[in-house]
Amino acid sequence: MPENIITHDRRVYRQCNPDGGDPPFYNPKSGIHHSLFRPGNRDFDGLSFIRIELRTPIWAAYRIENPEIRFLLINLSCVDLSNAAANLSSQSFVDTPDEMDNRFGEPWAHCVFAGANLNDYKSDPAKTNPIRVWAKKVAAQINQNQISGPFLSPSDQDSYRPT
């Protein structure tokens, strides 16, 4: 297991495609659906997040591989994510580069929450339910004030790193 390099006093963004998910990840009346916090097909090493102190919102809401999607951002506390994860295999946040990090370099803003990884979720029935419970706990804690966006596409004039 990689070393936990992200301290729990940090905050992270989770991207949310407002038009994605079945049921939809986001509904303005009911909020965020817990399925947004279950590992998807690319989350082998853990669920993806963006460290707030290393990427501005306009860039955090953008993906090179999906430039047409206007993502919402959910502002989350690493402490809250970890506290909800008492029964998961790991409570570590590990930095792993995404396409934006490959473009802009270190320090990497992208990280994963290792306890919610696809390998455990799909291959170990004893770990599937704790990940589902964690996802429901996290989604239930989110209020509308934590959700921002959608954002326009960033340009080269937009600052990548917060100042």
Give me the DSSP letters along 59-87.
HHT--TT-TT---EEEEEEHHHHHHTTTT
CA atoms of 21 and 84, how far apart (whole Å): 23
Output the pTM of the full model: 0.92
Please determine, for residue 2, whether its predicted confidence score (pLDDT) is greater than 70. no
Whether the bond into 150 is cis, omega within 30 of 0: yes
Domain residue ranges in the chain: 11-143
pLDDT confidence band for 3 (50 / 70 / 90)? very low
Tens of pLDDT, residues 36-82: 999 999 999 999 999 999 999 999 999 999 999 999 999 999 989 98
> What pLDDT is recorded for position 134?
94
- What pLDDT sits at residue 48? 96
Question: For residues 105 and 41, what is the distance between their CA atoms, to the nearest angstrom?
Answer: 25
